Each structure stands twice: as C-alpha cells, then as structure tokens.
Amino acid sequence: MKPATKLETQPAVSPEALVRPEVLTMAAYHVADARGMVKLDAMENPYRLPEGLRAEVAKLAAEAALNRYPDPGGAELKRRLHAVMGVPEGMALMLGNGSDEIIQVLTLALARPGAVVMSVEPTFVMYRMLAVAAGLEYVGVPLRPDFTLDGEALLAAIERHRPALLWLAYPNNPTGNLFDRSSLERVLDAAPGVVVMDEAYHAFAGTSYLPELGRRPNVLVMRTLSKLGLAGLRLGFLAGPPAWLNEFDKLRLPYNVNVLSQLVCEAVLAHPDVLDAQARSLVQARGELATALAAIPGVTVFPSAANFLLFRIANAPAVFQGLKARGVLVKNLSGAHPLLADCLRVTVSSPEENRVFLEALRAAR
Ligand SMILES: *Cc1c(COP(=O)(O)O)cnc(C)c1O
C-alpha cells in the first residue's frame, strides 16, 4: 500500500493556486435547460429540412468515411460558400466550428501584451468572454438608450484605446437593430486594427458588408449557418483579405469542422433556396409578432433586423418566470446590462409557437 501513503503526503494543489485568476472569476456561458419547453431563447430556426433533403443527408451520413479525418481546411465546402454567399473574388475564407471558434482564433492571434479588444455594449457576450480569457483588455462602448450606435463615443474610444480588434455585430445581438451606415463608415475609416462585421443574422437583415470586402484592408466579415437553420452542425466562416486569414488560419485547430458537418453543409448549400425560403417566412413572422407584441399594454418592442425581438415589460424577471411556468423559454436580459433593464428577448418562430408565446405572455404579465 506504499503508493497510497505517498499520495497522502503530497501537498494538495488547489485549482485556485494554478488556474489563471481571470478564468477563476469567469462564469461559464450559461445555457438554460429547455427540456419540454417551447424553446425561444437561442435564435434557432424552428423549421427542419424538407423530406427529400433529409433523405439525402441520411445517405451522406451512411456513406461518409468516418474512419478518416476530415478535409483539414474544408476546401470543397469553402468553394460552395464562396459561390452561394457571394464572397467577392480574391477574398479568402476560414471555417470555424461555429463562429464562436472564429472569435476565439482571432482573439488569440491578436493577443499581444497590452492589446485591446473593443465592441459596443450590450452586444454578443463571447467577444468579451474570450478577450478576458486570453488576458486582453476589453473595452465596451455603451450604445444609446434606444440601442443606436453612439458614433462619437465609439470614435473617441477608438482614438483613446487603439483597439487591435473591433467587433461589430450587424445586426446586433441582443438588441436586434442594424447600426446606422454613415456612422459605421466613419468608424471603419478610423479603426486602426482589425474590424470584424459579425453578420450572424444576415439572412434576416437584407443588408451586408460582404460585397464591400476588399475596400478596406482591415475589415472582415463573419457569418454562421446557426441562425439560418443548421445550429446543430456548428459551422461559421470568416471572409476577408488573404493576408489576414493566412495568419489566423495558423491558430485554427486542424480538422476543426468534422466530416459530417462538411458533407451535410455542402449538401444543404446545394439548395440555398430551402434556407432562404425559411428565412423569408421568419422575416414575415417577425413583422406579425412585433405588431402583436406591441399591442399588449405595457410592452415596448425594439426594431429588429434579426430573427428575434427585444422587448421591455414591467417586472421582466417575474414575467420571464411566468412564461417559464407556462412552458415557454425566452431569454431574460434584465440585469445583463443597465441599458437592458426589464428587457426580454424572444426568438421569432413558427406562427404556432409565436401564438403560444403571445398567449403565455398575456397570461404572465
Ligand atoms: C449566435 C451568434 C454567434 C455564434 O454563432 P455560432 O456560429 O453558433 O457559434 C456569433 N455572433 C453573434 C452576434 C451571434 O448572435
């Protein structure tokens, strides 16, 4: 029994002694338990693929070479994305296991000592989380109370902090709005580092910076298939000048997009009309849901160019619980940021699920 004795006499090393302090104070990204709920908290597309395409996916999965590593860079899938998304000639692509992974790769690549990562706030939380995890300074510049871009404040912050990396979600999450183009132009001209336009919701927005790629050497565009209907496959991509992407690609883990995701994404992107039609019906539903929501006394709905709506309602945390008790899960943003006091965010879903949500809300408020 000697080994046991030896083990006991070793000094205990606690995680607190070794894990970096910025990690110890971090909270893990919170995902609510949604079992049995009408799930309207994560901007998922409620629609599945049509029967024919599902059969094709089944066949691809059955015949896939699961014993082999995937294509390391996803060359075929990148070719398809280039064509389907209309990526300008001469621009490179990098694939990520979701766009979250791309945020991580860029953050690590630009993590020189003293470098600053910047965005607006409130915005997508992963920008901050991954910057802090990489030991970087993060500066969040507040939006105006109506969630429009405070161009002057952002320009002043850029001048002061000279960010190596600036994230701009277009449309923004969790607010749903598009920032004003003329303010953005000035910001893009002034930014001394890499600027990424995060277009996770492009399919619902009707506007994009993708066609402008190449006009400014430091501006990149990131997109994901998650909000478009393929959240389970985890595929994001970054488009931009090859000079930047060649550097970032060194930090991407080999084989980061698995065999099944590559095959299925290729197959679905061969029928872009399928996801486009679903997005169009969600845009239609967004208008109807916004109108119905705004008609409920005490509710303020904010303008959205995404597949979700942000709204303000008195006692939002209690309303959130009331919705949950009625089997409807939305996102409670009250407390996430002072500007989001009493705000809830709901995914735009099918007409049936939107009706269930509206009924639950009328009962819960
Ligand atoms: C959902 C979301 C992402 C992450 O998407 P994945 O590709 O699923 O990792 C990135 N940016 C914004 C603004 C989002 O809302």
Please give the pLDDT value at position 3: 56
CA distance 76 to 86: 15
Is 124 a pocket residue for ligand 1 (Cβ < 6 Å)? yes
CA of 100 to the centre of ligand 1 (A): 6
Ligand 1 atom closest to residue 306's alpha carbon, by position in its atom list: 15
pTM comes to 0.95
State the CB neighbour count (10 A cutoff) for residue 57: 16
DSSP string, 206-241: S--SGGGTTSSTTEEEEEESIIIIIGGG--EEEEE-
Indicate the top mutation candidate among 120, 166, 167, 173 to test ligand 1's pocket, ranked by most ligand atoms within 8 A of CB.
173
DSSP string, 250-314: TTSPTT-S-HHHHHHHHHHHT-HHHHHHHHHHHHHHHHHHHHHHHTSTT-EEPP-SSSEEEEE-T
Pair 167, 174: CB distance under 8 Å: no
Output the CA angle 197-181-131, nearest 5 degrees.
30
Is 236 a pocket residue for ligand 1 (Cβ < 6 Å)? yes
Q: Whose CA is nearest to atom 14 of ligand 1?
A: 200
Q: In sequence order, which residues have a C-beta less than 8 Å from that of residue 210 and are 6 or more positions away? A: 85, 86, 87, 88, 199, 202, 221, 223, 239
Backbone angles phi, psi at 44, to 5 degrees: -80, 150
Is 119 a pocket residue for ligand 1 (Cβ < 6 Å)? no
pLDDT means over runs of 10, the chain (365 residues): 58 89 86 92 96 97 97 95 96 98 98 97 97 95 98 98 98 98 97 98 97 97 97 98 98 96 97 96 98 97 98 98 98 96 98 98 95
Please give the pLDDT value at position 32: 87
Both tokens of 246, joined, read 């060649």
Please give the pLDDT value at position 8: 61
Is 56 a pocket residue for ligand 1 (Cβ < 6 Å)? no
CA of 95 to the centre of ligand 1 (A): 14
Backbone angles phi, psi at 151, to 5 degrees: -55, -40
CA of 99 to the centre of ligand 1 (A): 6
Please give the pLDDT value at position 111: 96
User: E-assigned strands of the chain?
Assistant: 38-39, 92-96, 116-121, 137-142, 165-169, 194-198, 219-224, 236-240, 300-301, 308-312, 328-329, 331-332, 343-347
Please give the pLDDT value at position 258: 97
Q: Whose CA is nearest to atom 11 of ligand 1?
A: 200
